[in-house]
Structure formats: C-alpha cells, structure tokens
Amino acid sequence: MKIFPAIDIKDKKCVRLIKGDFGNKTEYEMSPVDQAAKYKDYGFKNLHIVDLDGALTGEIVNLDIIQEIVAKFELKIEIGGGIRNFDSIKKYTDVGVEKVILGSAAIKDKNFLKEACEKFPNKIALGLDAKDGYLSVSGWKENSNLLTLDYLNEVNDYGTSRLIYTDINRDGMKQSPNFEETSKIANISNCSVIISGGVSSIDDIKKAKELNNKNIEGIIVGKAIYDGDIKLEELAKELDA
C-alpha cells in the first residue's frame, strides 16, 4: 500500500485545516520544500499536495514550489486545489507531476472530466470529497446535492486513473478514516482508490492494509504527522511491512 504524506500549501507555508475550514487552520514553521525533503529522507516516494491558495482562487498559485519539489526530490506527486481548466493541468504535467486531481470542476462539469482524461491519459485523478454521503465542492463550502455513489456511477468509465475519497467529517479530526464508505467506493470504482481524511495513528495504516481490497491503492497522512501523533520513522516502517 502506498503512503502519501500530505502537504497543504497556503501563503507559501505548510498548513492543516479542520474539516476544510479556512478559518480553523494551523500553520507550521516548515516550508513545503523542506517538508518534502524530510519525507524524501525517510524513504517516501509519493506525496499528496493541495494548493489551498489555488482552491480559494481557482488559479494556480504555487507552481514554483511544486516545480522545485519535483525537480529536487524526484517524488511522485499528486496535486489538487483549484484546477479548473486544461491550461492548469498542462502546467502541472509539464513540470513533472504524476497525477493532477480534479475536484469541484469535475463535479460541476462531467464533460470537463471526460475531456481531461482523454487529453491527459493516465494523469487525471478524481477527488471526491463527501459529507454525509453527498459531494461537496468549492473548497468544501458548497454541498452539491449529488450522492457520491450516484456521481461515481455516472463517470466511472471516463478514464480517471485514480480516485481520492475524503470524508470531510473526518478530515483534520484524527478520528480514523471512514474505511466502510471508502471500501464501498473501491468496490464499484473502475480505478484505484486512495483513502483520505482522519488518519490518527499508525493503527489506521495497519487497518487500511488489513482491508485487503485490491482496489485500494494507498492512504494519505497529514495532520497526524505534523502534530507528532505518527512519527515518520514508524510510518516509514509501514512502507516495507
């Protein structure tokens, strides 16, 4: 199982939000590039990055930081946050990002998702952020009134290469991910699924592995690392376990 340490970027700093609330955030001293270096040193190969400035503005804001991380560390990066047109996708793929995550734009316009998968084969990841079974959009500020499973059934054969499922109620709360709902998603998804939101301890990583669901590719770990609940050395052991 792949482990994706997370970096959320806001105002050039690493931050973490509680349930996606920009008014409820914790800033950390380490720069995103230094944090990426740390992950690389511990042997991690994959990285989940969210450009929160991009999520708020709908434009690419931190391309220079992403480019520096890719060039310096040769990490496989998935990046999300405010990616709403083909030009933005191209900018990220041009600097060597492995997967570009489409969220709100894909949910509001299914054709955009379909065309993106056609234009950028094997590069598009779909970010499904759900609250009580319904998808949320626009930095989690709006409920789409779309049931997650209904939407997934509609776009399942568009050619998405990865799906990132986040339970918003768990995100930043360190209450363990919603394994049950993620498994439901993985059972119907045509592409591999990443578990996201709520990882609280190393036991969550072990539990994810025990799900033994071939369609679950990996898990994202964020706030628990920054707050010291999961030590990088113990997380790194799970890479080989």
The 10s digit of each residue's pLDDT in 14-73 is 887 777 777 777 877 789 999 999 999 999 999 999 999 988 888 999 999 999 999 999
The pLDDT of residue 230 is above 80? yes
Report the relative pairing of strands 13-18 and 2-10 from DSSP bridges. Answer: antiparallel
What mean pLDDT do residues 75-98 have? 97
pLDDT at residue 237, rounded to an integer:
95
pLDDT at residue 68, rounded to an integer:
97
Per the model's pLDDT, the better-predicted residue between 133 and 233 turns out to be 233
* Catalytic annotation, pick one of 8, 51, 167, 171: 8
Domain coordinates of the chain in residue numbers? 2-240
The CA distances from residue 82 to 41, 56, 107, 140, in Å, are: 29, 7, 13, 12
The 10s digit of each residue's pLDDT in 142-176 is 667 899 999 999 999 999 999 999 998 887 677 89
Q: At how many degrees (to 10) do helices 232-240 and 202-210 cross?
A: 20
The CA distances from residue 28 to 7, 31, 34, 201, 233, in Å, are: 11, 8, 11, 20, 20
pLDDT at residue 16, rounded to an integer:
76
pLDDT at residue 174, rounded to an integer:
72
* Catalytic annotation, pick one of 51, 129, 171, 204: 129
pTM, 2 dp: 0.93
pLDDT at residue 137, rounded to an integer:
81
Give yes or no: 8 in active site: yes
Q: How far apart are the first and last CA of the chain?
A: 9
Percentage with pLDDT > 70 across the chain: 97
pLDDT at residue 195, rounded to an integer:
97
pLDDT at residue 163, rounded to an integer:
98
pLDDT at residue 141, rounded to an integer:
62
The 10s digit of each residue's pLDDT in 107-129 is 999 999 999 999 999 999 999 99
What mean pLDDT do residues 131-150 have? 80
* Among the ranges given (16-25, 47-56, 130-139, 210-219), the one the predictor scored with the smallest mean pLDDT: 16-25
pLDDT at residue 187, rounded to an integer:
97
pLDDT at residue 238, rounded to an integer:
96
pLDDT at residue 138, rounded to an integer:
65
2-240 CATH: 3.20.20.70
